[in-house]
Amino acid sequence: MPKKKVITCIVTIAASCVLVLGACSSEDSTSKTKDTKTTQTTTKKTTEKTTLDWSYQGDTDPSHWGSIKKEYKISDTGKKQSPINIDTKKVKEDKTKATIEYKYQPTMFKVTRKDQTIQAIAQSAKGRQDSKVKVAGKEYVLKEINIHTPSEHQLDGKDFVAELQLKHVSSDNKTLIISVFVNQGEENQAIADIPSIVAKSKNGETTAMKQAVSTLGIIPSDDNKVFAYEGSFTTPATNEGVTWMVYETPITMSKQQLQDLKTKLNDNNRPVQALNNRQVMSN
């Protein structure tokens, strides 16, 4: 992969992804005759037990998140919610306010599936520094990767096949998420065995990766445009205070890699939210 240079983009840090696989059942009806009486017996096939109190479908879908419990109310009342549609014609260019410097290392992850969400949690390795980025003089450590199919953010109203969201946290607990769109194309070797782990995953269980993710390899080339804005997490409680940086140009994954992800994660995207008075910036 090409060596990443310092990427200039805009970041404003303000007041910081993962979801329910709807339970389904099917019925098998068998007839049993006993003492000339016919009894109809229905057997329900069990499915994975859900682990979250919210989901992407049914009575706990995104339109209901704010009313599930008081801790989620900001999903309805917040003014800086994510994701958003990025209208490139209304983006303000300003190259002076922030920079991103990548200090990424090949990183091992443990992958946990909860319903229709995946949390790939970065694992520290003895003798090797954590993957980090520096933004406006503040250092953030890569904590996890979340995956959505299709993408949550839109670009000029366009969805992408998938979206990788790389969550970083600073020493003062500020959250920065770098988002990368994905389209179908060449196989992505940098993502390692995450797709196959997702395809085989059982709900609520954690699997250790066998291969390290080339974290720098899943970031688009260093001359790529980045859009930055103030937003929120995209899953309950959707708390605000998250700085988002969204790359314009997507990376690719193979048809098989994307199919592996869709096996358990399909349609796990929150709809775009109102921009309200926010300004999207770019480098």
pLDDT tier at 205 (50, 70, 90 boundaries)?
A: very high
**What is the residue-averaged pLDDT of the chain?**
85
Does the residue 58 lie in any domain?
no
In a domain, 39, yes or no: no
Task: Give per-residue pLDDT as tens, 243-268.
Answer: 999 999 999 999 999 999 999 999 99
Q: What is the pLDDT of residue 100?
A: 80
Q: Is 31 left (phi over 0), alpha (psi -120 to 50) or beta?
A: beta
Residue 43 main-chain phi, psi, to 5 deg: -110, 125
The reported pTM is 0.82
**pLDDT tier, 14 (very low <50, low <70, confident <90, very high otherwise):** very low
CATH of residue 263's domain is 3.10.200.10
Position 70 in a domain: no
The amino acid at residue 3 is: K
What range does the domain containing 267 cover?
A: 7-20+79-282
CA distance 189 to 216: 12
- Find the distance separating the first CA and the last CA of the chain, reported in whole Å: 22
Assess if residue 13 is contained within a domain.
Answer: yes
Could you tell me the two tokens for 132? 């980090």
Give me the phi and psi of 9, to 5 degrees please.
-155, 175
Structurally, how many domains does the chain consist of? 1
Q: Does residue 38 lie in a domain region?
A: no
CA atoms within 13 A on the CB side of 20: 20
Is there a domain that residue 145 lies in?
yes
Is residue 59, in this structure, part of any structural domain at all? no
DSSP 8-state symbol, 277: T
Find out whether 102 and 4 touch, Cβ atoms under 8 Å. yes
pLDDT digits (tens, 9 = 90+) for 31-72: 333 343 333 333 333 468 899 999 999 999 999 999 999 999
